[in-house]
Amino acid sequence: MITALHVLVNCKKRELKNLGYYHGYKGYRFAGIAKNRLHLQSFEQISSLNSFDMALKSLIYPRIIAVETALKNYTLEEVLQDAESPFLALVLFSWVSSRR
């Protein structure tokens, strides 16, 4: 027999899966070390943790992406200068050919 509680539990499980946080919840059951357990007892607590996590990521990721992009571009520029070629495809072809 399907009860209202059963439907609610399944709905919350689906919401956790949609958040992509079902696995994350298991990973965030503790802070740092397993002895520091987080006492998450409701979907609202898990949802709040997810919201905090997403807000933190939205602050940090754009800066990380900017640094990553700059590093890739500077590295690529150095590789092309060292190879004395403005064409990445030629540099890669030359490198692959030399490895055969």
pLDDT band at 95, cuts 50/70/90? confident
Q: Report DSSP letters for 59-96, one per residue.
A: HHHHHHHHHHHHHHHHHHHHHHHHTT-S-HHHHHHHHH
The pTM score is: 0.53
In tens, the pLDDT along 20-66 reads: 765 555 556 666 676 777 777 777 887 788 888 889 889 999 999 99
Place of tokens 């399907």: 2
How far CA 88 is from CA of 27, 47, 67, 93, in Å, comes to 41, 46, 21, 8
The tokens describing 94, both together, are: 């030359």
Instruction: Considering only residues 76 and 86, tell me which one the structure prediction assigns the higher pLDDT.
Output: 76
Query: Mapping DSSP to helix (H, G, I), strand (E, B) and coil, where does residue 30 land?
Result: strand
